[in-house]
Amino acid sequence: MLPLAKFFLLFLLGVVVAGEYPKHVKETLRKVAEGVYGVFGVYEQVSYENRGFISNAYFVMTDDGVLVVDALTTYKLGRELVEAVRSLTDKPIRFTVITHYHTDHFYGVGALKEAGSVIIAHEWAFDYVSQPSSWNFYEARKKILKEHMDGTDMVPPDITLTKDLDIHLGKHRFEVRHFCKAHTPGDIVVWIPDKKVLFSGDIVFDGRLPFLGSGNSRGWLKCLDKIMELDPNILLPGHGNPMLTKDKIRDRVLWTRKYIADLRNTIRKMIEEGQDIDYVREHINEAMLEIDPSYAQVPVFFDVNPVNAYYVYFEIENEMLEEEE
């Protein structure tokens, strides 16, 4: 093959591969506000091909150092995140706040610690890392990600909170808050009041159903109300695109709220009518589509909605028992 043709072919291959999955986290680095940057994983399940880069991480640069939010899915990706920070500043990485101890947000913590950062999370992180099921999950991840998982360990936080913690760094105050149990028992958000920027973890997504299987749907509604009260200019989610206008944020928060409320009300009605869990799981989709046919257009609605219904059924059953007492 002519050298030029060969070069051209390699170039094309490179574009195709790089176009599908970034080879380095840095390729997705993007400024989202003054001094605030993000790296953005693909919006899909963990696979060997995507190296587990399926979530977002962010960092804020100040005069006195850097604050990072979330640490990605593996030690290697965590290191790439550190390299992304290093491509913009030599200032120390002082703090890393983990929005929740789920694999795709904290497995990279080891790399941040190595870079000198203090790790901050909700106290629930210790429950998570001590559960045997979390280690089963770790092994399962290793099976999928193979060598991409090299160096990854379940590293617990250095500082934990159960409600409020303020970090003062540079000229900014970072308000770390546990508003409620939503996606997990230990969700926290980070709010920068002078920028009106909110890091929301997995509490609000753009255009995807929330997964209600490991948190609390009633708590989630409270969380969304709190977020509406904060009235952010910019909302930076754990997955998917950043939300950069108030209209967009309002629209997505209210949509998430409506979905959870519709699901809860529908299940409650079914329980009051004497239906059991099997009936609820089988009929929840059609009942929800009767309330709002547009749910049919939501990705994975038909698969995830019955799973959500399964968990919320028991939650509401418990709530009804409490009401009787």
Chain contacts with Zn ion (rule: CB under 5 A): 104, 202, 238
Q: Please, are residues 214 and 130 in contact by the beta-carbon 8 Å criterion?
A: no
Q: Smallest distance from the beta carbon of 193 to Zn ion, in angstroms?
A: 25
Q: Which is nearer to Zn ion, 199 or 313 (CB)?
A: 199
DSSP state of 157: P
Is 184 exposed, middle or buried (CB count within 10 Å of its CB: 0-12, 13-18, 19+)?
Answer: buried
Q: Which is nearer to Zn ion, 76 or 105 (CB)?
A: 105
Q: Let me know how long the chain is.
A: 325
DSSP reduced 3-state for 134: helix
Q: Smallest distance from the beta carbon of 116 to Zn ion, in angstroms?
A: 25
Q: Smallest distance from the beta carbon of 179 to Zn ion, in angstroms?
A: 17
Q: At what angle do helices 246-272 and 277-291 cross, to 10 degrees?
A: 130
Q: Smallest distance from the beta carbon of 55 to Zn ion, in angstroms?
A: 5
21 C-beta neighbours (distance < 10 Å), count: 15
Q: Which is nearer to Zn ion, 45 or 87 (CB)?
A: 45
Q: Smallest distance from the beta carbon of 100 to Zn ion, in angstroms?
A: 7
Closest CA to 204 of 186, 184, 177, 183: 183
Contacts (Cβ under 8 Å, ≥6 apart) of 325 = none
Q: Which is nearer to Zn ion, 137 or 279 (CB)?
A: 137
Distance of CA 278 to the CA centre of its chain: 30
Q: Which is nearer to Zn ion, 116 or 207 (CB)?
A: 207
Q: Smallest distance from the beta carbon of 238 to Zn ion, in angstroms?
A: 5
Q: CA 241 to CA 152: how far, in whole Å?
A: 26
Q: What are phi and psi of 175, to 5 degrees?
A: -95, 110
Contacts (Cβ under 8 Å, ≥6 apart) of 290 = none
Q: Please, are residues 211 and 102 in contact by the beta-carbon 8 Å criterion?
A: no
Q: Which is nearer to Zn ion, 104 or 187 (CB)?
A: 104
Q: Smallest distance from the beta carbon of 268 to Zn ion, in angstroms?
A: 28
Q: Which is nearer to Zn ion, 202 or 206 (CB)?
A: 202
